[in-house]
Chains A and B, each alone.
Chain A
């Protein structure tokens, strides 16, 4: 099959007069911007779907995507980078005789789209007669809908000066409080998608996410060495109001004080200890030890070469006691401010009504699924977990917002949990993370490690990491704080697939207590 030319659009007479122009307009004001791509979508989707059907596709999909981002990065007194990015393009996905074909291009233009459809069909047909198994799709509902994530202040409507001032103010406060170095930044993304499929769906969606950050570093001028403390502010699916209202003024001063304390703190003695883990740390443990193992594509071997497989085999469905009975973990793509929150997934499945428990009172009850997987474990349909990180990416099963549900008693707080610990550590903030390819053995660090002695906090440790095995860890949970302590953590950049796709996802949690976990001294681990 023929390869396409890269500068196609520069020479084409072009339906698309100025895609970037609309991206830029869109960045500045929220109206009218979608008109151009919406029109293109209407014009081209019919063409793709009828061409694909004619060429033998049993299922076809046309998607246009536009990602707009802006980032500001600062260091001490300097703004080191101001970047704006606007990428758009389209893709065609087809199923022919049980095999997928996919083609994508930055050029959203009639002739290019015709070529994409031919290419997608041709590469699907390459597999005819060579497959051991075919892809079977469940029935899909048809939706015609438009959805925009609710927010108060569009971050793209706020001036750069305002954002830079806020960031440099954070740095100033850090330096005034005694930090030697401080870097800070704000990354904002708008993701827009137009999806049409041969089932009859026509869906337009738009959402925004923010990632504010800072990190302070102090030096020990006398003994040498340094300590850092990163912000606990989580990325969110929110408007600018989140950055504006978060109390960075207080947090950055607290961060400097904690870095000072960490610098002077004694190293932890390695061994078994009780841990009380704050949501700013636990979200990442949930992500790695519950989120990834319960992805059905992993369990079935589809990610064996990179992300890995899973210890959670399909035969363990409804049987595995994954956690203690206190623990219920829920998947929900409708959750307010969730980074994975969206009305329809990238297979065109409506997410409202698809919320599900992955772990129900400790028992493993469901996998995360994308299109064409449910029947492989005897379920009827996907639960809305598909995501493609760009117009040029094939949709994969990706995590919904996956959250530990609070304990029932709202009077229980982190202090309550700490009060029943004789010898332990209260861990706050996420640090280093690593887990094996089947999601048994993990190791995490954090930002601050507060010593617990006889039910009370008693200073700080440094050089702490905790290790565990996913099922043993979650079964060691014997205390959860109540609903008012619930916090949402998350990340912009969960990696999976090849080429690697980066997905945003949130995880809510409450402070939780775990008994007798293995704690390491990282300085000793280094042999230093």
Chain B
């Protein structure tokens, strides 16, 4: 059971009362995790984790240091505060120091489900068995991960800020592979409330992909129109989001300086169908209501109809530039056009359907060029229909070009990407001129 708001408030007050610094900031997170990994249609590890993290940043003038620890006995609290103060006193002055925030107005968090929080390893095992039964029945090898995380996080400052939020999240992903290793499929989901779980549907999608992708035929790497399923779209779009940074742009070392003359904010840099925003209370993908510095997270338009509307900007840089600070996004929403996947596919004469992307890494920051690969379901589209599975590809592609070349989009989904699990509600995308650089033999 995660600690209540009253318990956490009491703990933060206890820590702040121990502080003799000019100012201090406390963060607490507590998590009760249940994890199930499975492979070859059997559970491989089955874990329960009871975790806690406390941190204090102590400040003397502009000197600052932080200590993180995970014990709550009196001596540990005292020692942690003392150590952070000792470290802060001998730390160099930080010309970019910003004092802790006072009390803020936050939205009401909605990323917690009491039913889900009451679940544990027993429920998890029962939910997963349905998925394993699907892969066994289809005579394919199922492998995947199901995790339930119930957590509470809080922040308090000596200037009077206090914020607490509980959350629950269930992540599930599954790979189905044929015994012969000649076909592979993948599917995933993420929910806040276990009542929205549909592991069987997710497993069945992965199984069908595996069966459909058997014996892929050879296709050369080239530039093709692609239909990126929601997971693949999520991967690429999130890479763009992380790079929307005001300070880098002002310092002339951002890809934005390559895209635009002068201040990129307010310029039409992407296709007119590209819109991205964050909203911590967005019902289909709720997220944390506060940022690491304590700023309230509000609905923020990043890109609206192709125009860059906002860049993330930290408090120091905002003060220096005399502009408003903009906290990092905690979730990302792309409204989409709600076209069906079949409708997107029907618009492609000759192109590729991509289920999942893998191992995306920055190649060239100047152009925001990323590389990565397709996996677990790559299909040729001809004359508006999927005609056959094809080999996987390596791509070299900038997510800026994905939004520049965006033709149409589907119904947003809350699925997982290859790495990271930030809540996102992203549609499948039809994108022109996607650059595949070489062929991969991997299945």
Contact = CB atoms under 8 A, between A and B. Distances in A.
A445 interface: yes
Interface in A255-285: none
A320 interface: no
Nearest to A77: B95
Contacts of A106: 50-52, 70-71
Interface in B6-52: 7, 11, 30, 32-33, 35, 37, 39-52
Nearest to B117: A3
B441 A441 contact: yes
A412 interface: no
A107 interface: yes
A20 B69 contact: yes
A304 B183 CA distance: 12
B406 to A, nearest CB: 15
Interface in A101-137: 101-107, 112, 116, 119-120, 122-124, 126-127, 130-133
A14 B73 contact: yes
B44 A1 contact: no
Nearest to B29: A6
11 contacts: A3-B48, A9-B73, A78-B95, A123-B46, A127-B42, A133-B42, A168-B92, A308-B358, A436-B441, A441-B394, A441-B439
Contacts of B361: 432-434
Contact of A80 (B35, B94, B359): B94
Contacts of B396: 443, 465, 520, 522, 525-526
B380 to A, nearest CB: 19
A436 B46 contact: no
Contact of B69 (A87, A127, A309, A469): A87
B7 A164 contact: no
A81 B293 CA distance: 14
Interface of A: 1-10, 14, 16-21, 23-24, 27, 77-89, 99-107, 112, 116, 119-120, 122-124, 126-127, 130-133, 159-161, 164, 168, 181, 217, 219, 224-226, 228, 300-306, 308-309, 311, 392, 394, 432-441, 443, 445, 463, 465, 467, 469, 495, 497-500, 518, 520, 522-523, 525-528
Closest 10 CB pairs of A and B: A18-B75, A20-B76, A438-B442, A525-B396, A304-B143, A498-B145, A526-B367, A85-B68, A436-B442, A441-B440
A133 B43 CA distance: 10
A-side interface mostly: mixed
Interface residues of B, number: 105
Interface string B178-195: 000100101000000000
Contacts of B92: 78-79, 161, 164, 168
A527 B30 CA distance: 46
B228 interface: no
B307 interface: no
Contacts of A16: 71, 73
Contacts of A520: 396, 437
B267 interface: no
Interface string B372-400: 11010000000000000000101010100
A276 B45 CA distance: 43
A305 B145 contact: yes
Given A88-B70, A394-B45, A498-B145, A78 B442 contact: no
Nearest to A84: B67
A181 B68 CA distance: 29
A436 B394 contact: yes
B121 interface: yes
A528 B68 contact: no
Nearest to A86: B69
Contacts of B1: 3-6
Contact of B52 (A6, A27, A82): A6
A123 B251 CA distance: 53
Given A394-B45, A432-B363, A224 B253 contact: no
Contacts of A127: 42-43, 46, 125
A302 B40 contact: yes
Nearest to B38: A305
B201 interface: no
Interface of B: 1-3, 7, 11, 30, 32-33, 35, 37, 39-53, 64-77, 79-80, 83-84, 87-88, 90-92, 94-96, 120-122, 125, 129, 136, 141, 143-145, 147, 152, 173-175, 177, 181, 184, 186, 251-253, 257-258, 358-367, 369, 371-373, 375, 392, 394, 396, 398, 401, 419, 433, 435, 437-443
Contact of B49 (A80, A132, A392): A392
Contacts of A499: 33, 35, 147
Contacts of B67: 83-86
B112 to A, nearest CB: 15
Contacts of B369: 522, 525-526, 528
A446 to B, nearest CB: 11
Nearest to B47: A102
Contacts of B2: 6
A202 B181 CA distance: 42
A132 B139 CA distance: 13
A527 to B, nearest CB: 6
Contacts of A116: 48
A437 B358 contact: yes
A522 B371 CA distance: 10
Given A19-B76, A308-B442, 16 more contacts: A3-B1, A3-B32, A4-B1, A6-B2, A10-B11, A20-B76, A84-B65, A84-B67, A87-B69, A123-B46, A224-B252, A226-B366, A301-B39, A438-B441, A440-B441, A523-B364
A181 B95 contact: no
Nearest to A433: B361
Contacts of A526: 363-364, 367, 369, 396, 398
A305 B49 contact: no
Contacts of A304: 39, 141, 143, 175, 177, 184
Contacts of B11: 7, 10
Nearest to A101: B46
A43 B364 CA distance: 54
Max count, chain B CB within 10 A of own CB: residue among A10, A225, A463: A10
Contacts of B257: 224
B39 to A, nearest CB: 4
A449 to B, nearest CB: 13
Contact of B79 (A24, A79, A435, A528): A24
